[in-house]
Amino acid sequence: KKAKHSRCNFYGNVNVGRDVTINELKEAYHAVVLSYGAEGNRTMGVPGEDLAGVYAAKDFVGWYNGLPNCRELNPDLSCETAVILGQGNVALDVARILLAPISMLKSTDITQPALEALAQSQVRRVLIVGRRGPLQIACTIKEIREMVNLPGTKPEMLPADFEGISEVLKDVPRPRKRLTELMLKTALETPGEKELERRKSASRSWGFRFFRSPVEVLAEPRTNKTSAIRLAVNRLEGSGADAQAVLTGEVEDVTCGLVISSIGYRSLLIDPGLPFDSRKAIIPNSMGRIQHTPGVYCSGWVKTGPTGVIATTMNNSFDTARSMMEDMDSGALDVSAVKSGSQSITALLRGRGVKPVTFADWEKIDSVETKKGEAEGKPREKLLSVEEMLQVAQT
């Protein structure tokens, strides 16, 4: 395993930017690579976004996945309809968690509190809303297929949304074509007997809604809880990936008690010493070499923005590694000087009262979670607070 390699050391529980600065790391090491992803989220920027019942997908996902700082989310699942803004894989994940049978969720590593809340959930209908049309949908086919095959649910699409789509499919590349064909089949094809039966007995439903942008979240006047979302109706100008959503002036209100905005993650600036493009929310770079900052590189979503699947991000990281190798060869990255490395950094952290967690410590946490999970037929039962994790790590 790479983490156990003698030349690889893991230091968890260290906040770069607060516990140690990029400059201090630059002093101690020949090269620094930033690969910290995108933990912020894009906001809708509409009135009512702060109402009870409105959540960022990042927080909702963090809640059911056991991220310590999302523990107190307590999402209100007492309404019938949930509206998700955004149609990427994260939006589909949220829809799946809201509608999956509890029996399916029980054997995953979803947190116990989330499982209990979802068992009591009244949510029966989830609408996944996008600004543009079916040909611009951002999710991938695997996630759509999981929704189509989700036990106890039936699809609820608007055939009118798919007018003219099948005619343009022949020239579309394979991935987009297969994805669109699956949507068309789900939306337009008359289901066979077995599927008809399955849909008749389904108690939950989900569907895509296209050509809609959020304008305002409306509240019930007495309780100030979310009661509906006002959506602007769009039309498309142009086609394919570059099609633009243009307002028509019409609006539509959709009754709902839960609004989840899943319109993209954003990288954060963790150290003021670094350049940052706040429009694109990435660190400005060229092939992974951070601009104006020799010796510091970046990789992953903080380099390219928050899109792409495993293979894309993997290749992206290979590119950064290649840039580093080239720089070592050309001398642009000077590796001849003797650097103090972890010796100075660990001393520095100790002086600041920071207790790093080693990989061996991580393995203790992993082992405790896995054992707890075994007792419940789950791959793991996650520890939900940093304090508990540190307690285990330091035994």
**What are the residues binding another protein (CB under 8 A)?**
1-2, 107, 140-142, 145, 174-175, 177-179, 309-312, 314-315, 318, 321-322, 325, 328-329
143 carries a ligand binding annotation: yes
Choice between 5 and 222, CB closer to another protein: 5
Distance CA 240, CA 244 (A): 9
Q: Closest distance between another protein and the C-beta of residue 171, in Å?
A: 12
315 carries a ligand binding annotation: no
User: Do strands 204-209 and 265-266 pair parallel, antiparallel, or not at all (unpaired)?
Assistant: unpaired
The b-or-e profile of 365-386 (16+ CB within 10 A means b, else e) is beebbeeebeeeebebbbbbee
309 carries a ligand binding annotation: yes
Choice between 277 and 319, CB closer to another protein: 319
User: Do strands 40-41 and 81-85 pair parallel, antiparallel, or not at all (unpaired)?
Assistant: unpaired
Choice between 7 and 194, CB closer to another protein: 7
Contact residues for 384 (Cβ-Cβ < 8 A; gap 6+): 66, 68, 71, 111, 113
Choice between 18 and 142, CB closer to another protein: 142
Q: Closest distance between another protein and the C-beta of residue 329, in Å?
A: 6
Choice between 169 and 354, CB closer to another protein: 169
Query: Any idea how long the chain is?
Result: 395
Choice between 322 and 352, CB closer to another protein: 322
Residues 92 and 267: beta-carbon distance below 8 Å = no
86: left (phi over 0), alpha (psi -120 to 50) or beta: left
Q: Closest distance between another protein and the C-beta of residue 72, in Å?
A: 31
131 carries a ligand binding annotation: yes
Q: Closest distance between another protein and the C-beta of residue 172, in Å?
A: 10
Q: Closest distance between another protein and the C-beta of residue 336, in Å?
A: 16
Q: Closest distance between another protein and the C-beta of residue 313, in Å?
A: 10
Residues 92 and 147: beta-carbon distance below 8 Å = yes
What DSSP assignment string belongs to 85-146?
E--SHHHHHHHHHHHS-HHHHTTS---HHHHHHHHT----EEEEE-SS-GGG--S-HHHHHH
Binding-site residue set: 16, 87-90, 131-132, 143, 301, 308-310
Binding-site residue set for NADP(+): 87-90, 131-132, 143, 308
Binding-site residue set for FAD: 16, 301, 308-310
